[in-house]
Structures are given as structure tokens and as C-alpha cells.
């Protein structure tokens, strides 16, 4: 005999399982947003995510070099002002390898950058122990590279899809939301994800598409918050239905 289950009557073990998953994912979501604030959110040198941050991250700030823009943006707190000025001046003077050593720029990089920007650190950042990697970033800032966009895109498409699949699987057992609205809420994060990631690529060519990045990210956040809240409310605060036996063909 089969029963029509919903979030109010699934039993305590399943409620604990679903709740544990939803809580951990929610914390992960907050951590991800915090990480964005401290990376992309500092691209324009000001704390907080703005359209300019997104443009600088993907299209680039083409009024200067990547090193200059990073030192005035997300890397601003990684070195003293005097050291930052020396690096920027060296870049504007042509980023020559001979003056890199004679003016002590190599020591500034060693003291302030090698902790993260080295092969030993293994943080996925450019290896600044190799001068050529520094030289490459002393050119015009054209934003994210195609290789980095490809890498980050496939990671997000696989990872975030798994997260929303399981959140949606839990939410689909809710009983207080009409079927039509439920379907929209389940589809929304997947559509928003495609808009968000697709807009990274579009912004690489045209800055106006940065707005779509914000809309796509906002769509995922709204859908997640809605499904999370409804699921938690029904599991722990809504009165449970008595299981109704049905025929297998009606389940």
C-alpha cells in the first residue's frame, strides 16, 4: 500500500535529514555570497557588489593595466601604500625585468604576494615567482580570460545544479504551494543560473550585459530563499496530514 507523502508527514528521520541538508546549504550560500563581496565586490576598490564590479571582473577596466586595477581594487589591502605606488609606477614605466630587480620591486612581490601567488600555495592563482606571469598582468586589463571563464563556468554549472536539484526535490514535497507556482519556483534557479553564467560571457564582450549577471544571481537567491523557507516551515510548523492510502496507479 502506498501513501501520499508530503513535508508534514514524512517522519522525523527524513525531516532531520532534509533540515540538516538545507541548513548546511544555506550556510554555504551565505559563505559564497561573502566570498563574492571580497573578490568581485572589491574590483572597483569599494566594498559592496555593483555593476562596475561586474564590468571590471569580466570586461575589465581598460583604462589601466590588470596589476594597477587589482592594487587599487581587490588587492588594495595586501600591501602598504608606498609599496603599491612603487609597483604601479614600475608598471607605468614599462614593467622592465631589469628595473624589477634594481628598484626592489621583486622584494615587494616576495614579501606581499608570494604567500598566495606561488606554486607552493596551490590556490589556483597566477604564480608570481615566475616573472613572465607578472609581465602578462602588466598589460591592459581586459577582464577574465576565456580559459578562466570556461573553468569557472563548468564548475558552477555542475555544482550549483546539484544543489538546486536536491533543494527542489525536497521542495516538491510541499503541499501549501500550488502546482503551477511550485513548477516556476523549481525551474527558476536553473534558468537564472544559465542567465547568470551566460551573462559572464556576454559581459566579456559588452559591459551592458553586466545587469543580467545581477538579475540572474538575484533570481537564484529569491528561488532558494522561497523554497528553503517553505520547506522548513512545512516540516516543523505546519500540522501533519494523516497518510491517505491510495492505489499504486494514483500515487
DSSP per-residue string spanning 74-86: TTGGGS-HHHHHH
Higher per-residue pLDDT: 228 or 78: 228
Residue 58 lies in a domain: no
Residue 121 has pLDDT above 80, yes or no: no
Q: Are 148 and 215 in the same domain?
A: yes
Q: Is 58 within 8 Å of 197 (Cβ atoms)?
A: no
Residues 84 and 20 in one domain: no
Q: What is the pLDDT of residues 151-164, one digit of tens each?
A: 999 999 999 999 99
Higher-pLDDT residue of 43 and 7 is 7
Q: What was the pLDDT predicted at 71?
A: 87
Please determine, for residue 124, whether its predicted confidence score (pLDDT) is greater than 90.
no
Question: Is 90 part of a structural domain of the chain?
Answer: yes
Q: Are residues 36 and 106 in the same domain?
A: no
User: Is 157 found in the same domain as 230?
Assistant: yes
- Residue 1: is its pLDDT beyond 50? no
Q: Are residues 152 and 219 in the same domain?
A: yes
Give me the DSSP letters along 14-40. HHHHHHHHHHHHHHHHHHHHHHHHHTG
Q: Which phi and psi angles does 172 have, rounded to 5°? A: -65, -20
The confidence score (pLDDT) of residue 2 equals 42
Pick from 37-51, 67-81, 86-100, 119-133 the range whose average pLDDT is largest: 86-100
Residues 174 and 95 reside in one and the same domain? no
The residues facing 229 across adjacent strands are: none
198 and 232 within one domain: yes
Let me know whether 223 and 104 are in one domain.
no
Point out the domain boundary residue: 136, 166, 187.
Answer: 136
Contact 56, 73 (CB under 8 A): yes
Res. 45: pLDDT tops 90:
no
Do both 9 and 76 map to the same domain?
A: no
pLDDT digits (tens, 9 = 90+) for 184-219: 999 999 999 999 999 999 999 999 999 999 999 999
* Residue 251 confidence (pLDDT): 45
> For the residues 212-231, what does the mean pLDDT come to?
97
Mean pLDDT over the full length of the chain? 89
Answer yes or no: do 168 and 186 share one domain.
yes
Q: Which of 241, 243, 231 is nearest to 251 (CA)?
A: 243
Number of domains in the chain: 2
- CA-nearest of 133, 135, 147, 146 to 204 is 146
Identify whether 245 is part of a domain. Answer: no
Question: Number of C-alpha atoms within 13 angstroms, CB side, residue 151?
Answer: 6
Residue 106, in any domain of the structure: yes
Q: Are residues 221 and 183 in the same domain?
A: yes
Q: CA 213, CA 184: separation in Å to the nearest integer?
A: 20
Question: Do 151 and 124 belong together in one domain?
Answer: no
- Domain coverage including residue 122: 64-136
Classify residue 216: in a domain, yes or no.
yes
User: Looking at 136, 160, 192, which one is the last position of a domain?
Assistant: 136
Q: List pLDDT tens digits, range 3-23.
A: 578 999 999 999 999 999 999
* Sign of CA pseudo-dihedral 73, 135, 199, 63: positive
Q: What is the pLDDT of residue 228?
A: 98
Residue at 244 is within a domain: no
| 223 in a structural domain | yes
- Of 136, 162, 195, which residue sits at a domain end? 136
Which pLDDT tens digit goes with each residue over 165-186?
A: 999 999 999 999 999 999 999 9
Amino acid at each position: 500500500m502506498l501513501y501520499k507523502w508530503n513535508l508534514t508527514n514524512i517522519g522525523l528521520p527524513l525531516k532531520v535529514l532534509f533540515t540538516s541538508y538545507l541548513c548546511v546549504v544555506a550556510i554555504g550560500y551565505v559563505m559564497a555570497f561573502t566570498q563574492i563581496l571580497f573578490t568581485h565586490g572589491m574590483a572597483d576598490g569599494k566594498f559592496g557588489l555593483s555593476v562596475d564590479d561586474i564590468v571590471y571582473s569580466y570586461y575589465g577596466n581598460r583604462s589601466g593595466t590588470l596589476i594597477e586595477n587589482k592594487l587599487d581594487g581587490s588587492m588594495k589591502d595586501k600591501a602598504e601604500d608606498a609599496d603599491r605606488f612603487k609597483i604601479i609606477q614600475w608598471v607605468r614605466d614599462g614593467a622592465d625585468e631589469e628595473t624589477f630587480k634594481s628598484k626592489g620591486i621583486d622584494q615587494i612581490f616576495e614579501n606581499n604576494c608570494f604567500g598566495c601567488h606561488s606554486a607552493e600555495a596551490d590556490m589556483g592563482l597566477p604564480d608570481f615567482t615566475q616573472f613572465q606571469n607578472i609581465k602578462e598582468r602588466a598589460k591592459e586589463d581586459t577582464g577574465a580570460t576565456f580559459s578562466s571563464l570556461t573553468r569557472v563556468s563548468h564548475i558552477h554549472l555542475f555544482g550549483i545544479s546539484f544543489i538546486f536539484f536536491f533543494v527542489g526535490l525536497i521542495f516538491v514535497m510541499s503541499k501549501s504551494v500550488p502546482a503551477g507556482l511550485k513548477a516556476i519556483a523549481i525551474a527558476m534557479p536553473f534558468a537564472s543560473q544559465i542567465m547568470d553564467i551566460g551573462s559572464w560571457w556576454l559581459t566579456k564582450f559588452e559591459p551592458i550585459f553586466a545587469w543580467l549577471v545581477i538579475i540572474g544571481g538575484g533570481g537564484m537567491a529569491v528561488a532558494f530563499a522561497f523554497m528553503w523557507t517553505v520547506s522548513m516551515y512545512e516540516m516543523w510548523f505546519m500540522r501533519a496530514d494523516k497518510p491517505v492510502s491510495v492505489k499504486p496507479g494514483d500515487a
